With several copies, the nearest count.
Chain A
Amino acid sequence: MSAPSVLYDAPGPKAKARNHGYTAAFIVVIGAIAWYVISELLDSGQLDWPRWEPFVNGSGVWTAYILPGLQNTLIAAALAIVIALPLGAILGIARLSQHLWIRAIAGTIVEFFRAVPVLILMVFARVIYFEFTTLPEENLALFSVVTGLVLYNASVLAEVFRAGILSLPKGQTEAASALGLRKTQLMTLILLPQAITVMLPAIVSQLVVTLKDTALGGAILSFPDLLDSVGKITANFGSNVIASFVIIAAIYIMINSLLTWFAGWLERKLAKRKKAPKAKPIHIATETGAGASMDMGGGGDSGSD
């Protein structure tokens, strides 16, 4: 039951046969590349069991290095999002203000922090905390990582909030006004609840971005995050760097895939209830990663014409 595709006609018997041919050829090519990589790894001894053994034989790498690192990563990401959300909401609503000067200030802040790389924000947060505060050294890295992430994510979330509110059909505002609801009632009863459900998937996606960005803290600020645990593992088990990277990458991928899946599930679940006539896709420059296209849902048509 193939839904009609914009790219392909419904395949006939020849097309089906051709596709089988391509499948076979492609699998051969991929197989050859995989074989080359694996044999190189074997030759260089990277797949030798002793390099991998510590991860399964209860040597304590998990409890001593990986889990504490993971815990720090999760704490930093969670803190960053929790702080960035209200800031982003304020900035986003400020950008919709009727007063030009409020819009201008909020706009400048948002555009500035979206232009500066997170890494540079983190590095300077650290310098500033060190010079001008009495924060304990061991929290300094965490605070700097979180600060960089908050500044950046608040700006991105501001755009998400703004887009979320703007994506609602104009008819919702009009119907509410026509019933005699006041401006604040309109915002709190009608617009925000709908905007937030529309935005939830985007917010979860942003969490993925944040989680990945914490790794900058490990590489640059000696924040003892998940990625940073590689150094300690390899110091104990010789040069099993590749094994360590593979395990750590797998953890990131698993968590982020789970979050991405959750975002998608949420989106589908909300879409079912909302079944908007036409979703208006909104593109927001995110991350260190990039224009994650966010389907903001919400109707495209405005009730009036």
Chain B
Amino acid sequence: MTAATPAPPMIRMEGVDKFFGDLHVLKDINIEVPAGQVVVVLGPSGSGKSTLCRAINRLEPINQGVIEVDGKPLPAEGKALAGLRADVGMVFQQFNLFAHKTIADNVALAPVKVRKMNKGEARQHAMGLLERVGITDQAEKYPAQLSGGQQQRAAIARALAMKPKVMLFDEPTSALDPEMVQEVLDVMTNLAKEGMTMLVVTHEMGFARRAANRVVFMSDGEIVEDSTPDVFFTAPKSDRAKDFLGKILTH
């Protein structure tokens, strides 16, 4: 655990427990992510990575423990919760672009509706973001007309449009064709370089090595290891991590 610093950590989870019925999916989770850090979460399927990620903006309510974002505890509902979520960007495995709106509208929607930005400004801002992720020419198309890689980049632009303090990524590249993985990872790498605080669930070891400050390894709802990428990939401590790396790295 990192020592407490004067500035509060961007994300803090303390003693978090989560159950689905009888299933204990998060077990006494304690983690802090300081501002500007990129944390990659690894672990076998079903280990609770997604649940961890979704708990941070309360898409999954937790049963026990404390979650704080930027020093403030997670509100339970209503306006306060919406306000917090606006500050936390989230990117999903399945992109989840609004199917009935164009790409530009997808990106401009929340700034207008939540941040009360005026429409023209929001649109201009959206086009800037689309340029940043390299899909300006797709602005007027509908999500279904784009390739997976393009959709995921649009989804990142949509999250960035809210100028979030922290970004959560839940397996952003696992639904993509292999050639499109890189274009999305490039966007994420740039984001990391610019100092965005990020929590990334991914199986892309290359990205973990290159862009992460820390690697958190989960298994069975527990955080089993929490170290630097170098240490984790070269000298994993637990058997579970070794086994996992063995399976994932041979091919």
Contact = CB atoms under 8 A, between A and B. Distances in A.
Indicate, yes or no, whether A interacts with B. Answer: yes
A273 B142 CA distance: 7
Contact of A304 (B50, B97, B110, B142): B50
Nearest to A273: B142
Assign chain B's interface to a size class: 35 or more
A274 B144 contact: yes
B79 to A, nearest CB: 7
A174 B59 contact: yes
Given A12-B77, A304-B50, A180 B98 contact: no
Contact of A13 (B57, B76, B83, B90): B76
B94 A303 contact: yes
Interface residues of A, number: 35
A102 interface: no
B86 interface: yes
B13 interface: no
Contacts of B84: 180
Given A1-B19, A10-B61, A179-B114, A194 B79 contact: no
A189 B97 CA distance: 13
B125 to A, nearest CB: 14
A180 B83 contact: yes
A178 B77 CA distance: 13
Contacts of A275: 144-145
Interface string B67-87: 000000001111101111111
Nearest to A305: B50
Interface in B142-188: 142, 144-145, 155, 158-159, 162, 170
20 contacts: A1-B19, A4-B59, A9-B77, A10-B59, A12-B75, A171-B94, A174-B92, A178-B90, A179-B109, A179-B110, A179-B114, A180-B82, A180-B84, A194-B98, A273-B142, A275-B145, A303-B96, A304-B92, A304-B170, A305-B50
Which 4 A/B pairs are nearest by Cβ-Cβ distance? Answer: A180-B86, A12-B77, A12-B76, A171-B96
Given A180-B110, A193-B100, A276-B99, 13 more contacts: A4-B60, A10-B59, A12-B76, A14-B76, A179-B114, A179-B159, A181-B113, A185-B113, A194-B99, A301-B94, A303-B93, A304-B59, A304-B170
